[in-house]
Structure 1
Amino acid sequence: MKTNILLCLLFVPGSQLNPYIQCPHVCTCKWKSGKESVECSNTLLGELPVLADTTQVLNFSGNHLPTLKVDFFLAGGLVNLQEVYLSHTHMETMNRHSLRGLNNLVKLDLSYNLLSKVPAPSLAFTPQLRELYIPHNPIHSIDDFTFQGLSELTTLDMTGCSIGYISTRAFSPLHGLEKLLLRDNKIRILDSKTMQPLFQLQTLELEGNPWMCNCSIKHTVKWIRENNVPMPRPPICSGPSPVFHKPWIQLSLKDFICPPVSLISQKPRYINHPPGSNLTLTCSYSGDPTPAITWTLNGVPIIIGQKNLLSTEIDGERITSSLLLYSMYPRDSGRYTCEAFNIGGNVSTEFNIQIVDVNLFYEIFRLKIYIVLSGAGCVLLVFTLFLIGYNYKFRYNKIKYSNQLIISDNQETQWLQLLPDNTRNNFSYISVRF
């Protein structure tokens, strides 16, 4: 009888767990909610103490774990863990094998840490995970297939992170997700394709984000309403101005609009075109609702008739308009404008058309070349005449001064004898002593 009483006492809720492993003095070991639980929070520990391998719940929050090392739990034999709490541990990184061995883990709390991204490689070792809490971590985006392998996940809390972008396939494996908490982030746009895999969703929190309530989230709002997904508090619009600071619940789908946007360059185009030929002008825009398009010539609406043909193609929110102009002549030159508009605004594209006779253009070009060459020829002629005149003057001066001879005394008689008798008086000479 005494033996039976002793065995019963060993399993009374609140009593110490496995008697063969002593509970660390800084921790508290007890039964809690029918599970073997160890409380080691705020104990300044940097490593796991020796714990019983039958431990099911471990609270290690408030300690210093900047990096969760490889086989952090498996190395201590803690393969039966079902709940792990690691909040406020200054955690920045997790080794891809840090959660290896936790095949029975159903709840993981990583809140209030320094993780810059969701630790997807580590989470792949927790196929039974049902609740994941990563709020208040500096996570900026959620990429495709981040939660690959977590098909059992029902709760995902990413409140108060810095999330600004969520890819269209970020939640694709989470077909059983029931609660998604994304409030107080930096999300402006959320594609409806991102939400489509979440057909089991029962709670959605999106408030506290700077939502741009235009056509980019129109289909997301439509999906939420069609699937009757409860939102405890409605999100508030941060723009555009017509719906600024209005809650989603007060807006109809028609209020989620986008002004027209040109799909080609809006810079004015300058086109020189030969007379007598046809010309096609094309503009393309997107917007929601689909924009309407008008054509003008120098600000006057173009009347569609025998000299032109207008064709329009609409593909969803995209519209393309082509204006075919027949037999263009100089009188048809001018500023052609394609303008798109809807309730959200308007935008336009300009085409500056000049009808120019190519032959006339070349004749004018040749005339300009002739004028330039003629001018150059005149300059060359004047320069040549100048050189001729300068050369004549130079030779004249040379002949003029050559009548003076500079000779020495002993050469005077020789020079005078060489000169003809009738030319001796025509030369003057200077006698110089050497």
Structure 2
Amino acid sequence: MRGVAALALLLANVHLGRPCEKVEKVLVCLKIPSYFDPGCSSLLMLLKNVGEVNSSVFHSDSLASIDSLTINNANITRIAESGFGSFPHLATVTLTGNMLSQVNADWFGNPAVLRELNVADNRIEGVTEFALNGLTNLTKLKLNKNRIQTIHPSSFRSQSALAEVDLSENRLTWVPPQIFTSLGSLGSIRLDGNPWNCSCAHKDFVASVKGL
């Protein structure tokens, strides 16, 4: 009900020219305002055709209290380095249904704080060696419904706290057998919906997946 109430109040105020509405600790915005109300813990952006998020879009001291950010279906194509640098306490980020081609820890001003990252249903084609570098306390990562074909063997080397990974519905045919060895806290992993190559040439990979 809180989400419904927030949206209702927001839409009611659109006619008054107000881009955002604060409901308790949640700030809901239909467009990027020139000023963000301080004291909120969650920010929900209902945007369209955003394109690139550069380092100045969310430049505001009022965002220091935000620990949850959601920007879904906004046609975000790229996030610049420190694009979310004004969120020092950001623990949960949801960016589903956008057009991102990569995931990068450099988006965040304080990457070690992040606990959950959801970039499902984007256009990510690979996870590079340093893509998640610095996200040392990440516990949940959703990369499903992308176009991922390759994952570097060291992609998860600093994610010892990662407990849940979703790589389903991508374009993976094979991943290095050692890729998940550093994930000592792993409790759940989804790999379904990929066109896996289970031939004898990849028997080490098949054995590693069965051992998860």
TM-score range, shorter chain: 0.7 to 0.9
Shift of 1:145: 2.2
Give the C-alpha shift of residue 220 in structure 1: 3.7
Report deviation, 1:123: 3.3
SS state of the match for residue 132, structure 1?
Answer: strand
Q: Is the 8 A contact 1:191 1:216 kept in 2?
A: no
Aligned to 1:37: 26
Name the CA distance, whole Å, in 2 between partners of 1:90 and 1:181: 22
Q: Given residue 79 of structure 1, which amino acid in structure 2 is its aligned partner?
A: A
C-alpha distance in structure 1 between counterparts of 2:109 and 2:19, whole Å: 32
Query: Structure 1 residue 138: deviation in Å?
Result: 1.0
Q: Does 1:223 align with 2:212?
A: no
1:103 aligns with 2:96: no
1:170 aligns with 2:159: no
- Alignment partner for residue 182 of structure 1, among 167, 176, 190? 167
Give TM-score scaled by structure 1 length: 0.43
Aligned match of 1:209: 194
In the other structure, the counterpart of 1:143 is: 128
For 2:63, the equivalent position in structure 1 comes to 78
Query: Cα RMSD (Å) of the superposition?
Result: 2.2
Give the partner amino acid of 1:97.
Answer: S
Structure 1, residues 209-267: CA drift from partner, whole Å, max 9, x if none? 000002454334433444xx4xxxxxxxxxxxxxxxxxxxxxxxxxxxxxxxxxxxxxx
1:173 partner letter: S
Q: 1:10-409 residue pairs with structure 2 within 5 A?
A: 25-31=18-24, 36-40=25-29, 43=30, 45=31, 47-75=32-60, 77-123=62-108, 125-215=110-200, 217-226=202-211, 229=212
State the Cα deviation string for residues 1-53 of structure 1 (Å, max 9, x = none).
xxxxxxxxxxxxx9x9xxxxxx973433212xxxx10122xx3x2x2342222
Question: Which amino acid in the other structure matches residue 30 of structure 1?
Answer: V
Taking structure 1 as reference, are residues 25 and 216 closer, same or farther at Cα in structure 2, changes over 3 Å only? farther
Return the offset for 1:108.
Answer: 0.6
SS at match of 2:203: helix
How many residues end up aligned between the 2 structures? Answer: 199
Q: CA separation in 2, counterparts of 1:76 and 1:197?
A: 36
Counterparts of 2:184 and 2:109, CA distance in 1? 23
Q: Tell me if structure 2 keeps the 8 A contact 1:108–1:133.
A: yes
Aligned-partner residue type, residue 154 of structure 1: T
Residue segments in structure 2 that go unaligned for 5+ positions in a row: 1-5, 10-15
Q: Give the direction of change, closer, same or farther, for the CA distance of 1:190–1:116 in structure 2 (3 Å limit).
A: same
Q: Give the deviation of 1:196 after TM superposition.
A: 0.8
Percent identity over paired residues: 21
Deviation at 1:125, TM superposition (A): 3.4
Could you tell me which runs of 5 or more consecutive residues in structure 1 were left unpaired when the two chains were aligned. Answer: 1-13, 17-22, 230-434
Q: Distance in 2 between matches of 1:198 and 1:119?
A: 19
**Cα offset, 1:128, TM superposition:** 0.4
Q: Which amino acid aligns with 1:27?
A: C
* 1:56–1:81 Cα contact (<8 Å) kept: yes
User: Secondary structure of the equivalent of 1:92?
Assistant: strand
**Residues 60, 85 of structure 1: 8 Å contact kept:** yes
**Under a length normalisation based on structure 2, what TM-score does the superposition of the two structures give?**
0.85
User: How far apart are residue 95 of structure 1 and its match?
Assistant: 1.6
Counterpart of 1:172, as a letter, is: R
| Counterpart Cα distance in 1 of 2:126 and 2:196 | 16
Aligned AA (2:157): S
Q: What SS does structure 2 have at the residue aligned with 1:79? A: helix
Cα offset for 1:57?
0.3
Output the amino acid matched with 2:39.
T
Aligned amino acid, residue 143 of structure 1: T
Once the two structures are superposed, what CA deviation does each residue of 1:258-309 show, in whole Å capped at 9, x if it has no partner? Answer: xxxxxxxxxxxxxxxxxxxxxxxxxxxxxxxxxxxxxxxxxxxxxxxxxxxx
Structure holding more helix per residue: 1
